[in-house]
Structure 1
Amino acid sequence: MQRSRALLTAAVTSAALCLTVVPTAGAVSSSLLAPGSSAPADADAASGPIFRAVAGVGANGRSVNFSWRTTHTGAEIVRYAPVDRPTEVREAPAREADYGALAYLSKFAEVSDLEPGQTYTYQLGSEQGGWSAPESFTIDDGDGTWSFIAVTDVQIGVGGRVAEQAATWRRTAENATAADPDASLILSLGDQVEGWGDLIGPRGQYNAFFSAPQLRSVRTAAIQGNHETYATPIEAKHFQEHWNLPNELGDTSNYFFEQNNALFIALNSNRKDAAGLAEQAQFVRDTVAAHGAGKDWIIVANHFAFHSHGGRYTDDDIVAMREALSPVFSEVGVDLVLNGHDHMYNRSHLMNGLEPTVPDKPAEPGDVLEQREGDVLYLTLNTAVGGKFYDYQGNDGKDYPDMTLERSRELGLNQPTIAFWNQDRTPDYSLINVTPESINVRSLNAEDGSLVDDITLVHDGAADPANPSNL
């Protein structure tokens, strides 16, 4: 598809860009500026060629898949070097990623075989078109003990409050990475934007999402939510052009990546028809068969919530998804499923297929769950920004705006598969710590860091659930 240079230039000129550009005259090919170095005074972030960049996850923990938007129609690259050896510059060529968006030009590039524990600085662009300002990322040391951050439903643009929500998103991203400065990656569970196309200017939802600088310094993964398809499924082209997905199944947005001792499987759950669910089920089976051996943990990212009091538990499409995929997850050994979509926090019981294991005492933060063969834990996370929240819906089908966990238990309104829920109507993020024996998920209030839930999953026989100090 031949794109219009005039369209590209007009769109970018009115956009709020994310990267400062170092003009060609200030660029050198033998080394890179140090991260945080000042660009020349005449660098113009509002009209430069590089914007909406992200350092995405690669196929494994030693690789990065870059994605950026540009106004330059010529060849571009990513150039990178270890921060302690700045003259050892390497380059990777970029290619155009054309899924049909006309308002901008997208470039994808990949780097691999990076050194464990090493910090790299990088720039995007070209001598002819100009360079982005230097950024840096650190590669995990590669052992079985590490951490990552999970967020969902940033959904910038709800009610048209783009600037307000962008500020909240930047604050959430800053607070989360400050709480875990060693996080190996950020995982965003869908609905990065409200949708309705790629609006530009001050109402630009994608501009606002990519305004969080952490997306360029911590490798980031994202999955497609339903709002990435608003107003029509054609709008998914914007998701596809912004995310350079590793190991993608065709153009389905189903993909996987490996990180240390974990295998991540990311599903595009917008297709909940029989054919789409069958495709996802087979993708999970094939991926685990080919890449699951030797992994301590298998983690699935899926936007729609399997077990949630957010008002959709009995919807036909959610029931169909739950019935089609839950047995497959138990069959192949998935350990943890991370969901979003319902804008409230929910934790399932351990589920073997569709059957819950209900403990003798009520669930509470601090629980340690010992996993038997086929057991899967489902967590639905609350929105990271809070443009909207959903009321608690009981098993009677009624909404209860002021319901509490304690009262719902007293009234017997909780679904039999749901162990714990929270709706405090504040944005959240989750810190996930991984060891060979355990996964601990601490979900926190994004503003004040107060605890929402703390749950630890351990393999059968790895520890005594009554004695978490054994972990």
Structure 2
Amino acid sequence: MTTTPTAARRPRHRARVAAALLLVTATAVGATSTVTSARADDAVPLLTTESTAWSYLETGVDPSAGSTDPLSWTADDFDDSQWKNAQGSFGAKGGKATGMGGGYAVDTLLQQYLPGGTVDVPTYFFRSSLELTADQLAGWKSLTADVVYDDALVVYVNGTKVVGYEDSRIADFEGNVGYAGDGGGDPDRSTFTIDPALLHAGENTVSVALYQDRSTSSDIYFDFLSLTPVSASAEATISDVFLNVGADESQRAVSWYSDSTSAEEAQLALTKDVTGGVFPARASSFASTSGVATDGQNWHHATLTGLVPSTSYSYRVGSDADGWSETYVFETQATGDYGFLFIGDAQIGAGETARDTAGWVETMGKASGEFPDTSFVLSAGDQVNTASNELQYDGFLAPSQTKTLPFATNIGNHDVASKAYEQHFAMPNVSETAGRPDAARAGGDYWFIYQDTLYISFNSNDRDDAGHADFARKVIAEHGDEARWTIVTFHHSVYSVASHATDGDIVTRRAELPPVMSELDVDLVLMGHDHVYVRSYLMSGTTPVHTDEPVDGTVAPEGDEVLYVTANSSSGSKYYDIQSQDFDFSAVQNQEYTPNFTNVEVTADSIAMTTYRTTDMAVVDEVTLSRPADPTEPPVDPTDPTTPPVDPTTPPVDPTTPPVDPGTGDEDPTAVPLSELTEATHTLVVTAVDEAEGTLTATVPRRLAGAALDWFVHSEPVYLGDDPSDDDGVLTLRLPEGLGAGTHTLVGQTDATGAETWGTFELTAVSDPLPGTPGAGGAGSGTGADTGAGTSAGGSTTTAQADGALAFTGSDALPLAAGALLVLLAGLALVIRARRRRA
């Protein structure tokens, strides 16, 4: 059938958010909007419920039976003249046209059951067509479609699949007929984008396959609400902006969706430099990786690098060509002690989507309001109830905090059945092998470091526990010495007391994972899945210990003991009852059928966790995990009789001999040419330039903290010395006399591997160090003063010294004895940092 476009008009922005959800979001989030770029025009929809007639087959027979091409039924020339014909919406519930959930109505009743019984028809097939001209196609950037379905749906345009919802089981079919999808309840609504390249002048065919998830499903539903062209001149519609953690505290990742196929990027600037939403010319740009999302739009991921502590940043995403999102602001926290929020299954859509969203928005508002300086949010998984449902993702992304607080998400069993999870969330250091159950589902174990804590996340949907163990061993072997604490997190709780506690898969994980946690010296394991709060006793492998001690207060692990915590629902979408049997591993368990969240405070000596009820902020549980300070190597005692005596024949050092100028002489290292620098080592952040004092303060990556590097300033390389940074990676260098105004490159290098880190900075005038300071070859001070100042260029440019920046305090020539003491202390600091928590 050919569709004639009507004069009906629909909003050009994404239509998948129901009115109730829009009301919840507008009320709870205020000015923050998921959709940020307005359309300049309102195009006439090409397909609508009211105007489009569909040919449809409801007999359960494969329309391509006997053909060598299983998709022959989607082709333009397929003969559907024997099919029925009607307008939507289509559906049935219990064989009738009434009672459909979610407020959806049935206009055309489908035959729900196979002839002679009450077994559901597995698959329904629909076809419609539309006439288009070459001029129309030339004026379109894309087409936006809005559909409602139950239980699974696949859409084809001219024989090419453009989108599939809950369709992972279809790959196992022989032919086109079978059961697929997720019978979670009411019909789902989704929006997707179609590339005009799939269309041609003349008649175009749209084909739809609709699936029941099982033979006893209570209802079936399909409605193609609209198909609307997007003008080539329209700005991009940018949505689903989400802030993710980075590989360490100097990074954040941003993910977003766009209906444009053009290249897009993230821009970053100091908030103080952004006026009226206008970004400065020196704002940093970070290109995105991208691909086609499950809803037909394009997903984008960009990593923001070179962030410094205690700084407010503004960012936006998009492009000059297609338009930008609104501006969002986040703040980095100070170094040292820090906190984060731990939340369990939001699972938007497990109840009623708008209600679940309201509960989730309330939890995030209460938690961030009570703990405004928190560093990030760690989610135990099941962000949504249906893996491909973009309406539910809208609910999860509704809180404004998802754009201003970085999130570390685990993948839950309700997230895994679609690639949408890994398109919406850009986690760092994701494994290409560990935690990847198959190519059709999302996943991948990952890790990151924040301050002195190593975080490791397993995709526990992958049942390969040995693979998870190997991944953790490798990460800890390579990065364990960079952290004092190790926290592992995954979705499927191994120590819980509600509905899932006795599931066969949980029993298997309980036997296999805890011994590995103890073996690897893990401190804390954070989990979800069972929609109940549980804190274990300290566990030595699978054995609870200290069970005769009070459960409140402080627990102090010894040897291989690990603490496990399971989070309750953070939205109130679903709760599970505590089972009546005794679980010997459970120290504290709580089910009050109200949303929870946990505030976690991390110091060098403890991890303090307080869990709250969102509704009234009453305390559910509080516990502090503590441990003694790391053993350290004592400094050498010069009076110790075991210390080798000084050789009396060695001539004493002449105290009047001036120290060697590290910028002169034949032993100076050779500078790495600028042409050999790569973006992989563009990791140095220049945080302040004090032109009056003639100093520069910079921060090196965590792995280089305390390392002695040879420092050069370019263009014409001048050696600045080999000073190490302090334990936080901060050092201050003195600039050479006569360094010209303009942009310069600072490089830290070693003889063994060449350039280790580099960044750029600017001078507004020729440097003129104070009288008595080293000249062009002078060494850096190595004071490691932390200015807390920021950079507007993601490590590539800096402003002059920020307000409150510390003045340079190094002396021009340290006496030899004092210099020797500094070397000793620096070495001792490195030894202390490298020690693990237990001897």
Corresponding residue of 2:400: 213
Q: Which structure: larger Rg?
A: 2
**In structure 2, what residue type is equivalent to 1:386?**
G
Show the counterpart of 1:146: 338
**Bigger proportion of residues as helix:** 1
CA distance in structure 1 between the partners assigned to 2:39 and 2:273 by the alignment? 23
Residue 447 (structure 2) aligned to one of 252, 256, 264: 256
Residue 583 of structure 2 is matched in structure 1 by 415
Is 1:21 paired with 2:212?
no
CA deviations 1:41-80 (Å, max 9, x no partner) are xxxxxx9611111110011111011100011111111001
Alpha-carbon contact 1:339-1:379 (below 8 Å) kept: yes
Q: Which amino acid aligns with 2:428?
A: P
Percent of counterpart pairs with the same letter? 32
SS in 2 for 1:84: helix
How big is each residue's C-alpha offset from its partner over 1:241-289, in whole Å with a ceiling of 9 and x where there is no partner? 11111000016421001100001101100122xxx11111111111111
Contact map agreement 1:53 1:216 (CA 8 A) in 2: yes
Of 476, 484, 498, which aligns to 1:310?
498
Return closer, same or farther for 1:134/1:436 CA change in 2, 3 Å cut-off.
same
Instruction: State the SS of the aligned residue for 2:519.
Output: helix
2:523 to 313, 330, 335: 335
Contact 1:370 1:459 (C-alpha < 8 Å) held by counterparts: yes
Does structure 1 residue 126 correspond to structure 2 residue 319?
Answer: yes
Partner of 2:411: 224
- Structure 1 residue 101 corresponds to structure 2 residue 283: no
Structure 1 letter corresponding to 2:345: D
Distance 2:478 2:344 in 1: 28
3-state SS, counterpart of residue 333 of structure 2: coil
1:334 aligns to what SS in structure 2?
A: coil
Match of 1:168 in 2: 359
Which residue of structure 2 lines up, in the alignment, with residue 357 of structure 1?
545
Distance in 2 separating the partners of 1:138 and 1:253: 28
The one-letter code sitting in structure 2 at the alignment partner of 1:208 is G
Aligned-pair RMSD on alpha carbons? 2.1
Residue by residue over 1:97-138, the C-alpha shift from the partner in whole angstroms, topping out at 9 and shown as x without a partner, is 44x614321001111121111110011101121111110111
Q: Residue type of the partner of 1:138?
A: E
Residue 227 of structure 1 aligns to a residue in which SS?
coil
Q: Is the 8 A contact 1:223 1:253 kept in 2?
A: no
Q: Secondary structure at the match of 1:140?
A: coil
- The secondary structure found in structure 2 opposite 1:343 is coil
**Within 1, Cα distance between the matches of 2:516 and 2:363?**
34
Q: Deviations over 1:278-334 (max 9, x none)?
A: 111111111111111141211111101111111333322112112211111111111
Q: Secondary structure at the match of 1:392?
A: coil
Deviation (angstroms), 1:459: 1.1
Tell me by how many angstroms 1:12 deviates: 5.7
CA distance in 1, matches of 2:625, 2:538: 9
Q: How does 1:353-392 map onto structure 2 within 5 Å?
A: 353-364=541-552, 367-392=553-578
Which residue identity is paired with 1:215? T
The CA deviation at 1:193 is 0.5
Aligned to 1:398: none
Partner SS state of residue 321, structure 2:
coil
User: In the TM superposition, what whole-angstrom CA distance separates every residue of 1:199-253 from its partner, at most 9, and x where no partner exists?
Assistant: 4xxxx10111111110110111111000113xxx3x2x01011111100001642
2:551, 2:12 → 1: CA distance? 51
Do structure 1's residue 454 and structure 2's residue 636 form an aligned pair? no
Give per-residue Cα distances to partners, 1:341-384, cap 9 Å, x unaligned.
Answer: 111100000011111113434423xx200111211100001000
* Cα distance between partner residues in 2 of 1:198 and 1:20: 17
Q: How many residues align?
A: 398
Structure number with greater CO (CA < 8 Å, separation at least 6) is 1
Q: TM-score, normalised by structure 1?
A: 0.81
Separation in 2, partners of 1:439, 1:183: 14
4+ runs deviating over 6 angstroms: none
Residue correspondence of structure 1 range 9-48 to structure 2 within 5 A = 13-16=14-17, 18-21=33-36
Structure 1 gaps of 5+ residues are: 1-8, 26-46, 396-413, 463-471
CA distance in 2, matches of 1:461, 1:245: 31
Letter in 2 for 1:105: N
| Equivalent in the alignment of 1:193 | 384
Q: Where in structure 2 are there 5+ consecutive unaligned residues?
A: 1-9, 23-32, 41-234, 275-279, 437-442, 631-839
Question: Does the 8 A contact of 1:59 with 1:247 survive in 2?
Answer: yes
Tell me which amino acid in the other structure corresponds to 1:109.
Answer: A
Aligned to 1:444: 612
In 1, Cα distance between equivalents of 2:472 and 2:376: 22
Match of 2:600 among 407, 424, 432: 432
Amino acid at match of 1:207: D
Residue 409 of structure 1: aligned partner: none
Note if contact 1:165-1:385 (Cα within 8 Å) is conserved in structure 2: yes
- The counterpart of 2:369, out of the listed 178, 185, 191, is 178
2-structure distance, mates of 1:112, 1:370: 37
